[in-house]
């Protein structure tokens, strides 16, 4: 059974926005997961074709839209399902289990779209979600430039890794204004230029190419403050923190990769069982497989435990502590390092199957690509360790993926 959390009746936010401060657990979750299981054969079948196209196939994207996958995190006020964090974790695991690049494509847009819906002004929300349904991709870790003008900013810049661009209609992109403000600016994709440079080891079907914007006006109503901004819509999930909702997606993605790698090596072992001298019929392989299974299940249990704790915290209208934020990030690092470790072990036992086109090779490449993301980087892991070990300065706090300590302390 999928793990869930009880929904408690909403209360008005003490911050004056009128939004609920209670955690919502969606009744749509089981139905969405069941429909994903129904289309799983198609998602898997189209995996190789997606690599050739550089994006998931049109029929896969259309099926995901029909199911409502792109509405999973969206606040209920704008027609979304508003999955809880643990529901979202399991959604990403399921999608990536069936096809890693498809999962990454969803990862690239699902939280971006939800955050825009939760934070921007009513004027922008009416434009984006009133009569239709905008889908956002973009980049928030390397800001562009904003020139302050009356009513907004004229933005320019170049950004990397626009994951999910094959399905997005709009951009959410980081900008630092010449007035010193750091904002997320939203705009139609048609006002940007794609850079065709997604020639990579893995995740080839995720369309994570770069993009640039040249002198485009974005009104203040279509921006929001990602550091100190207050969510206008959505429940307690949006009190987790913008960066850590993105971290959550990467954790679920890695679990799906682990699960598929284990499935594929089991299948290969059965296929080779009748062959004399097959390495996958040895006691050494059995022990290695048991270790891989334990790694995956341990990472998954850790994530469900820590996110359950976070859910209880935000449901009580409290902000996650520095330790909880450290654990959120540690869970994602652990899941991705586990996927990398399992990929390496599977490669040891796959033999020549690894070097030929197929799911094992594809997932090996995907695991080694996904783990290179910022959320899994050594500096993040080091900062997490510093905070959890008690070595950080008193009062140290997280700002996105940086552990900020008081001046004069280390």
pLDDT at 31: 98
3-class SS at 174? strand
Answer for the pair 250, 303: CB distance below 8 angstroms, yes or no.
no
Spatial CB neighbours of 358, under 8 Å, sequence gap ≥ 6:
none
- The Cα 100–Cα 251 span in angstroms is 13
- The CATH class given to the 29-129 domain equals mainly alpha
The whole-model pTM stands at: 0.94
pLDDT at 311: 98
- CATH superfamily assigned to domain 236-404: Butyryl-CoA Dehydrogenase, subunit A, domain 3 (1.20.140.10)
pLDDT at 13: 36
pLDDT at 5: 37
Is 29-129's fold the same as 236-404's?
A: no
251 sits in which H/E element? helix 242-272
377: burial class by Cβ within 10 Å (0-12, 13-18, 19+)?
Answer: middle
Compute CA distances 75 → 5, 16, 70, 136, whole Å.
Answer: 17, 18, 12, 14
- The Cα 293–Cα 350 span in angstroms is 16
Per-residue pLDDT tens listing for the chain (410 residues):
344 433 333 333 333 356 777 999 999 999 999 999 999 999 999 999 999 999 999 999 999 999 999 999 999 999 999 999 999 999 999 999 999 999 999 999 999 999 999 999 999 999 999 988 999 999 988 899 999 999 999 999 999 999 999 999 999 999 999 999 999 999 999 999 999 999 999 999 999 999 999 999 999 999 999 988 899 999 999 999 999 999 999 999 999 999 999 999 999 999 999 999 899 999 999 999 999 999 999 999 999 999 999 999 999 999 999 999 999 999 999 999 999 999 999 999 999 999 999 999 999 999 999 999 999 999 999 999 999 999 999 999 999 999 999 754 44
pLDDT at 410: 40
3-class SS at 222? helix
- The CATH class given to the 136-224 domain equals mainly beta
- The Cα 171–Cα 190 span in angstroms is 9
- The Cα 304–Cα 144 span in angstroms is 36
14: burial class by Cβ within 10 Å (0-12, 13-18, 19+)?
Answer: exposed
Answer for the pair 47, 41: CB distance below 8 angstroms, yes or no.
no
pLDDT at 21: 79
Spatial CB neighbours of 40, under 8 Å, sequence gap ≥ 6:
98
pLDDT at 15: 33
- The Cα 115–Cα 104 span in angstroms is 17
3-class SS at 173? strand
Q: Count CA atoms closer than 13 A to 116's CA, side-chain side.
A: 34
* Segments making up each domain of the chain, as ranges: 29-129, 136-224, 236-404
- The Cα 229–Cα 336 span in angstroms is 30
Q: Which of the 8 DSSP states describes residue 133?
A: -
Spatial CB neighbours of 249, under 8 Å, sequence gap ≥ 6:
88, 92, 107, 110, 111
């Amino acid at each position: 059974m999928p793990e869930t959390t009880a929904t408690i009746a909403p209360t008005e936010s003490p911050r004056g926005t009128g939004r609920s401060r209670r955690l919502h657990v969606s009744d749509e979750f089981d139905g969405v997961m069941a429909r994903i299981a129904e289309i799983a054969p198609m998602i898997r079948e189209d995996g190789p074709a997606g690599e050739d196209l550089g994006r998931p196939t049109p029929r896969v994207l259309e099926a995901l839209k029909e199911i409502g996958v792109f509405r999973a995190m969206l606040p209920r006020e704008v027609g979304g399902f508003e999955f809880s964090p643990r529901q979202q974790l399991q959604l990403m695991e399921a999608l990536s289990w069936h096809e890693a690049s498809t999962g990454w494509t969803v990862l690239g847009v699902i939280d971006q779209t939800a955050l825009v819906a939760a934070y921007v002004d009513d004027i922008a929300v009416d434009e984006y979600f009133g009569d239709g349904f905008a889908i956002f991709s973009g980049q928030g870790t390397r800001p562009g430039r904003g020139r302050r003008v009356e009513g907004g900013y004229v933005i320019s810049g170049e950004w990397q890794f626009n994951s999910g661009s094959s399905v997005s209609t709009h951009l959410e992109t980081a900008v630092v204004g010449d007035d010193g403000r750091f904002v997320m600016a939203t705009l139609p994709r048609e006002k940007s230029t794609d850079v065709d440079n997604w020639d990579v080891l893995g995740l080839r079907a995720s369309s994570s190419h770069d993009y640039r914007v040249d002198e485009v006006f974005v009104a203040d109503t279509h921006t929001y403050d990602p550091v100190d901004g207050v969510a206008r819509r959505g429940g307690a999930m949006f009190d987790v923190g913008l960066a850590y909702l993105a971290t959550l997606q990467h954790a679920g993605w890695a679990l799906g990769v682990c699960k598929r790698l284990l499935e594929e090596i089991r299948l290969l072992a059965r296929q080779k069982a009748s062959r004399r001298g097959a390495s996958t019929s040895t006691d050494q392989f059995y022990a290695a497989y048991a270790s891989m299974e334990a790694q995956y299940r341990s990472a998954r249990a850790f994530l469900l435990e820590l996110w359950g704790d976070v859910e209880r915290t935000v449901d009580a209208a409290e902000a996650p502590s520095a330790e909880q934020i450290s654990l959120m990030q540690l869970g994602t690092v652990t899941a991705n390092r586990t996927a990398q470790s399992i990929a390496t072990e599977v490669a040891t036992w796959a033999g020549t199957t690894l070097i030929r086109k197929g799911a094992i090779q594809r997932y090996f490449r995907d695991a080694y690509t996904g783990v290179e993301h910022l959320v899994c980087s050594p500096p993040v892991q080091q900062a997490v360790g510093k905070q959890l070990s008690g070595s950080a300065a008193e009062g140290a706090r997280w700002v996105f993926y940086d552990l900020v300590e008081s001046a004069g302390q280390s």
